[in-house]
Amino acid sequence: MSDRTASSLPLKDPLAPQGPSAFERWWLKSGFVNLLRISGLTVFLAAWEISSRLGYLDPLFASSPSLIIEKLFDMIRDGSIWPHVAASANIAGIGFALSVIVGVPMGLLMGRSLTIRATLEPFVTALNAAPQVAFLPLLIIWLGIGISSKVALVFLGSFIIMVVNTEAGVSQVDRKLIETARSFMANERQIMMKIVLPSALPYIIAGMRLAVGRTLVMVVVAEIYAATKGLGYLIFQAGGLYDTAQVFVGVVVLAAAGVILNAFLRWLEKKLAPWQHVQGS
């Protein structure tokens, strides 16, 4: 490089204002929000603990955070909680997976085909309006008290959410994009895979996030009435013995599972549909 070329390069002014550091960018993007979340949770738990210790809340009916944590660690230490967690996770995982595998394609077909939508919509609407919990006695009669009836109940509760959300996502696809693809001789499969599915993806993942909550509720209901182990069974048995600390242990484990799964699905959406998340939001 010649002296003239080197001298023509701009030199950085050490006194010029620099951009925000990596920590500052993280703080502006999510650090402050996370601090607010942690602060709110800490204040709530502290108020609960203080109220219990001062006698404003009866530990027999409301327990306390310290007793719940103590009970949780005792159950982890002696291993008594793991069979319940494994049983519930097995039912929830199978039921949720089936609801996604069946519900997403059905929602895509209903959104793309007027004939299919007109045929299936009355059944979907009726199932969505009906309390799926009411089907549990019938499912037990048909499938027995084993895992099949529980998985079927979880599937019914989650499947309908996946169908409705996926169909809604397909209906929001820009028609101009589809017409443009057809003008370039794209077939229906290419339109589905390249335009419809990516456009509906945020709705599908939103449906999965909603289905997670419904899945956990259905697992608890199924295990209360037809199980000998599981977190629902654990909560029901502890309630009958007035062991509120153990009741809250089951609730905390379920809530933590829901939070973790929702966080994972949010992360998955950002990876698969980054256009939905503008910078700084």
Domain boundaries, the chain: 85-274
What is the C-alpha separation between 227 and 240, in angstroms, rounded?
15
At 261, which amino acid appears? L
Q: Residue 146 phi/psi, 5° resolution?
A: -75, -160
CB-based burial, 213-229: b 16+ in 10 Å, e otherwise: bbbbbbbbbbbbbbbee
The secondary structure of 50-117, three-state, reads HHHHCCCCCHHHHCCHHHHHHHHHHHHHHCCCHHHHHHHHHHHHHHHHHHHHHHHHHHHHHHHCHHHH
Indicate the average pLDDT of the chain. 86
Query: Would the pTM of this model clear 0.85, i.e. be above it?
Result: no
- Looking at residue 12, what is its pLDDT? 52
Phi-psi region of 10 (alpha: psi -120 to 50; beta: other; left: phi over 0): beta
Structural class in CATH, domain 85-274: mainly alpha
Q: Tokens for 110?
A: 């209903």
- Looking at residue 178, what is its pLDDT? 85
- Cβ neighbours around 163 below 10 Å, total: 28
Percent of the chain with pLDDT over 90: 52
Residue pair 252/244 in contact (Cβ under 8 Å)? The answer is: no
- Which segments in the chain show pLDDT lower than 70? 1-31, 276-281
